[in-house]
Amino acid sequence: MQLTEIVDTETYPLTDPSFGAACNAKLDADGVLVLSEFIRPAALIAMQEESIAGQDRAYFCAQDHSVYLTPPDPAFPADHPANRQVVSSKGCICDDVVAQASPLRTLYDAPEFRGFVKRATGESELHPYADPLSSINIHYANRGQELGWHFDNSSFAITLLIQKPDAGGRFEYIKDLRDADAGDMNYNGVRALLDGETAPQVLSMDPGALVLFRGRNSIHRVSPNESDTTRMLAVLAYNNAPGVELSENARMTFYGRLS
């Protein structure tokens, strides 16, 4: 497939600087950008078929972690927001399982798409991961599986919803709940969310939607899948410098292997 067969470039003119600037303004203002029906129907069907075919090669795991994705801090009690544990359970296939002819790879590698992402995010450079696993991932959430509350370490994330569950599997978030650069972790705000005192926003999206999200300071989760239809999501990951690898510990944790 060519890029124009994958992306609705009439609605989303990727090479138009003014379109990229408008996306950048919305992403900076809202912390999230949703481009509905970004993927053309035939390409979405191909992605769904590829994802279903690859699911038996996925690495499934469940992990307890803090919302800050940091080790337990002995300076605080176990029930402190810095130490309270949430659960993430999902499956994942890695970049080396994604076929060379996959529309996901065509999209990821396309200079037009990468140029758009740079304009939308304000990044001056974008590079794939140097390790063979981390650039393109497909995530799976079966009934009962979820992505627990957390802040991202990276400045932005790019996801593409491939298949939506019949119930549950909602993307929920609170924008700018902390200021990591200023060292403000906002423990009280996190506690209120974990205790159910604060209601998050719910992001509405359907299969074929591209989402850019600034998750470093905006806490977010994917609620448990409440159906027998698997939630399938592609993650397209770039770095702002060449030669970056996901650590061996992170690869073993997320993928169950190093290569």
pLDDT tens-digit map of 200-229: 999 999 999 999 999 999 999 999 999 999
The pLDDT value recorded for residue 218 is 98
pLDDT tens-digit map of 5-29: 999 999 999 999 999 999 999 999 9
Return the bridge partners of 41, or none: none
Q: Which is more confident, 246 or 24?
A: 24
pLDDT tens-digit map of 45-95: 999 999 999 999 999 999 999 999 998 999 999 999 999 999 999 999 999
pLDDT tens-digit map of 35-48: 999 999 999 999 99
The pLDDT value recorded for residue 95 is 97
The pLDDT value recorded for residue 259 is 85
Domain limits, the chain: 3-255
Please state, as a whole number, how many other Cβ atoms lie within 10 Å of the Cβ of residue 257: 11
Smallest CA-to-CA distance from 191 within 111, 57, 91, 79 is with 79
The pLDDT value recorded for residue 249 is 78
Smallest CA-to-CA distance from 194 within 211, 172, 210, 214 is with 172
Tell me which amino acid residue 254 is.
F
Going by pLDDT thresholds of 50, 70 and 90, the confidence category of residue 233 is very high
- The answer for 69, left when phi > 0, alpha when psi is -120 to 50, beta otherwise, is left
pLDDT tens-digit map of 147-193: 999 999 888 999 999 999 999 999 999 999 999 999 999 999 999 99
pLDDT tens-digit map of 139-150: 999 999 999 999
Q: How many helices (H) and strands (E) does the chain have?
A: 7, 11
Judged against a pLDDT cut of 90, whether residue 247 lies above it is answered with no
- The Cα angle at residue 34 between residues 237 and 45, in degrees rounded to 5: 75
Output the CA–CA distances (angstroms, integers) from residue 214 to 39, 108, 109, 168, in the order listed: 21, 19, 22, 22
pTM of the model: 0.94
DSSP 204: -
Judged against a pLDDT cut of 90, whether residue 32 lies above it is answered with yes
CATH architecture for residues 3-255: Sandwich (2.60)
Mean pLDDT value across residues 225-247: 95
